[in-house]
């Protein structure tokens, strides 16, 4: 398939899944029902640190310079987000000294992504799929902040964090157009994207119900 048409098809597949989400479903799934700003910001810290560490982990074993640069950009952006969220939690009265966002271990999605070896799999599952999920989650979080009157957190996500996550997703799409150029590579990319959706905390319940795919056990 033409690489551009292939990537558009992947995006449509994700959009069909996202369209079935309730207005707070990613937040409820991620937080196990504890839908409040502080809880969700603390969970976001874990997400940001995992995304940054993954991008940094992939860089040394990625040979394509443009992909390496994309991972470097993402690594820096995610750590910037981490610092901004940490500051916001402090403004909300939380004592974050010594806080370890990974105190309960890394997520199953992190372990799955860390095990990917090919560039198209990493791009499809990471910047392309994971950041698309982040866009949906952020949109729901922005609406929550607006509803509870937390304008400062809303502005942080609307003006800084979400636009940069959108940029990461677009980088992933552009890189897939460039590198997912054969049937075999497109099959690898598709499988990696679908696995990310099946494993992600924010989508796990919906994916099981909508597609029959169950979370992949990841050690």
pLDDT confidence of residue 206: 54
* 44 φ, ψ (degrees, to nearest 5): -65, -35
Tens digits of residue pLDDT in 186-212: 999 999 999 999 898 667 655 454 444
Confidence grade of residue 219 (pLDDT, cut at 50, 70, 90):
very low
Query: Domains in the chain, start-ordered, CATH in brackets?
Result: 3-17+29-211 (1.20.1260.10)
Do 122 and 188 touch, CB atoms closer than 8 A?
Answer: no
Tens digits of residue pLDDT in 76-135: 999 999 999 999 999 999 999 989 998 889 999 999 999 999 999 999 999 999 999 999
DSSP code per residue over 7-41? HHHHHHHHHHHHTT--TTHHHHHHHTT---HHHHH
Q: Is the pLDDT of residue 63 over 90?
A: yes
The set of residues, in sequence order, having a beta carbon less than 8 Å from that of 111 and lying 6+ positions away, is 218, 219
Q: Is the pLDDT of residue 22 over 80?
A: no
Tens digits of residue pLDDT in 132-170: 999 999 999 999 999 999 999 999 999 999 999 999 999
């Amino acid at each position: 398939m033409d690489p551009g048409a292939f990537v558009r098809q992947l995006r449509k597949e994700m959009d069909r899944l996202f369209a079935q989400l309730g207005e707070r479903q990613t937040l409820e799934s991620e937080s196990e029902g504890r839908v409040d700003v502080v809880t969700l910001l603390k969970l976001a810290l874990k997400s940001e640190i995992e995304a940054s560490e993954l991008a940094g982990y992939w860089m040394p074993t990625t040979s394509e310079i443009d992909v390496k640069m994309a991972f470097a950009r993402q690594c820096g952006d995610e750590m910037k987000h981490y610092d901004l969220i940490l500051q916001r939690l402090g403004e909300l009265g939380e004592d974050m000294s010594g806080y370890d966002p990974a105190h309960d271990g890394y997520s199953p999605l992190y372990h799955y992504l860390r095990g990917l070896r090919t560039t198209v799999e990493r791009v499809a599952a990471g910047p392309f799929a994971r950041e698309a999920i982040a866009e949906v989650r952020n949109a729901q979080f922005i609406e929550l902040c607006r509803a509870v009157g937390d304008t400062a957190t809303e502005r942080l996500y609307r003006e800084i964090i979400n636009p940069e996550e959108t940029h990461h997703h677009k980088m992933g799409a552009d890189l897939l157009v460039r590198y997912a150029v054969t049937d075999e590579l497109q099959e690898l990319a598709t499988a990696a994207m679908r696995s990310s959706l099946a494993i992600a905390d924010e989508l796990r319940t919906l994916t099981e119900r909508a597609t029959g795919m169950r979370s992949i056990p990841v050690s």
